[in-house]
Structure 1
């Protein structure tokens, strides 16, 4: 029986590529460059499956032009906002993602960003590296303490809960908003709020962990920033589309926000050049899941979904 042909448009982990090549005929983008919409359409006539990342956009327009040979898009990501799911379903194309396996790695980055923004890490690092650290006093580089503070979490899915677990280690008072309240065993003493506005009002620190959807795009806008306590710190490791970046900059300028920690931006790659002027903004280039073990686990999860699909079974992560 002829093996299915799989297109891998980004350079995945070595272990993932080794396993993929053992089980499938693979077309691999070893140069790791971005693929255009035209590339996605053209390759769909050559392959039975694709393992894309969030950098490959399967819009409704693209979906309408995909060749009928393509049967499954096994995403190497949890988020699927780069895929128009109804349009792909209408074409009979299965779509899967990779939940669970990146929760802890992403939660670690959220914690890093929160601590870095709170304790002025960008400013302090630049001071030492530049050779301009000349003084010290009790009033020098005073930041915002995390231990014991109130943390608001928007989105208590897998990553949100993993972050909450780590926040408990800092003795933080955890408040959260979710589409539905968690069971007590998952809530673990966290305070549930039935609206986003309610949780914002008590959030000395705020961490975003919800997906990007039409309903959540621009979730943090000027009105929402105004609801936060003065001097709050916001962290976003979810999707850049959740934040109105012009409103974020205004909140930083006014002092409403003491700082922000960002791993994702409206424009990726690249980010927002205007934010580079702010030393109280700790920024990373969307590396929430960037550990060896997590990237291997994500790749293997995507391949597990392919294996099930081509064995005539329902993939475990079918959307």
Structure 2
């Protein structure tokens, strides 16, 4: 008998076909709407595996309903939408999709940095609104990128990929990480710094650290006040790491020059959010990994994680490997 799985969102047909070959599949068929909690609560009661996205909150109360549930396969690198401790206590494996979106997210991060520094969104709107009347020496003048100092908070895979791009712009690169990485320093010519010194020195501060209880509100009023008034903050990691109320105040009062954000504390972001009223804040709808190739590879890897485990083998990527050890 095939194992039963539930998929919380429409995925590419060929990847769905692979899963249907190995499993008995039910799927929430919508592409642009999340599965209602009531349906998820009903479906999880019957399945051996759950294939989900960051949009689903997989908490202990939901996991408790999954009497046969053996694996939660998250189509994402991050997994702060899943209660890992509760899953582990219930002997449920959690998997993710690291590696495949590194370069794509680094591309978006640097693009957002450039877009914010050169006021591209503001300039585009200026033109579209018919405000462009003549060339002017200081019209929409922004900040230089070439030769500037880049501070990277979180030197993981994406941090390293961003540093490689910055080298092409002859940027000085400093980083803060929970632990120093001498091998990365040697390979990329980056310098380790305390968070305080990084914030004081950097022209661009890019947040690329995972979301944890320790990094919640890592960047707030005190940290923003350490930055230069010409500095730009970029966040493409997770919402909640930057305190949005404090960031709004810093931008309004020109404590920092600008911000570029792809992630927010509550997603989707309300159109009434104060940050969207500011011309010095570029906001994107969480598209860091949004290329066709990368999203397909994420979907494939999430499927591979799930199928491999349900067939009695070790999946490529697991978040709580102690569950595997307990099953051996």
8 A Cα contact 1:173 1:190, kept in partner: yes
- Partner residue in 2 for 1:164: 163
- Pairing of 1:17-56 with structure 2 (within 5 A): 17-32=16-31, 33-56=33-56
- Pairing of 1:180-219 with structure 2 (within 5 A): 180-185=179-184, 187-193=187-193, 195-219=194-218
- Pairing of 1:171-182 with structure 2 (within 5 A): 171-182=170-181
Structure 2, unpaired ranges of 5+: 320-328
Please state how far the C-alpha of 1:301 moved relative to its aligned partner. Answer: 1.1
Q: RMSD of the TM alignment (CA)?
A: 1.5
8 A Cα contact 1:49 1:71, kept in partner: yes
Which piece of structure 1 moves more, 136-145 or 37-46? 37-46
- Partner residue in 1 for 2:59: 59
Please state how far the C-alpha of 1:296 moved relative to its aligned partner. Answer: 1.1
Could you tell me how far apart the structure 1 residues matched to 2:105 and 2:28 are? 26
8 A Cα contact 2:104 2:294, kept in partner: yes
Could you tell me how far apart the structure 1 residues matched to 2:132 and 2:35 are? 45
SS at match of 2:52: coil
- Partner residue in 2 for 1:88: 87
8 A Cα contact 1:75 1:95, kept in partner: yes
Could you tell me how far apart the structure 2 residues matched to 1:22 and 1:183 are? 46
8 A Cα contact 1:113 1:283, kept in partner: no
- Pairing of 1:134-149 with structure 2 (within 5 A): 134-149=133-148
Which piece of structure 1 moves more, 157-166 or 93-102? 157-166
How many residue pairs get matched?
Answer: 316
Could you tell me how far apart the structure 1 residues matched to 2:22 and 2:92 are? 21
CA offsets 1:97-126 (integer angstroms, 9 cap, x no match):
000000111111111111111001121010
Please state how far the C-alpha of 1:168 moved relative to its aligned partner. Answer: 1.3
Structure 1, unpaired ranges of 5+: none
Could you tell me how far apart the structure 2 residues matched to 1:11 and 1:103 are? 23
CA offsets 1:187-240 (integer angstroms, 9 cap, x no match):
5110012x3222212111000011111111111100010111222100000111
Structure-2-length-normalised TM-score: 0.92
Which piece of structure 1 moves more, 239-248 or 296-305? 296-305
8 A Cα contact 2:28 2:35, kept in partner: no
- Pairing of 1:1-319 with structure 2 (within 5 A): 2-32=1-31, 33-63=33-63, 65-185=64-184, 187-193=187-193, 195-271=194-270, 273-319=273-319
Which piece of structure 1 moves more, 266-275 or 49-58? 266-275
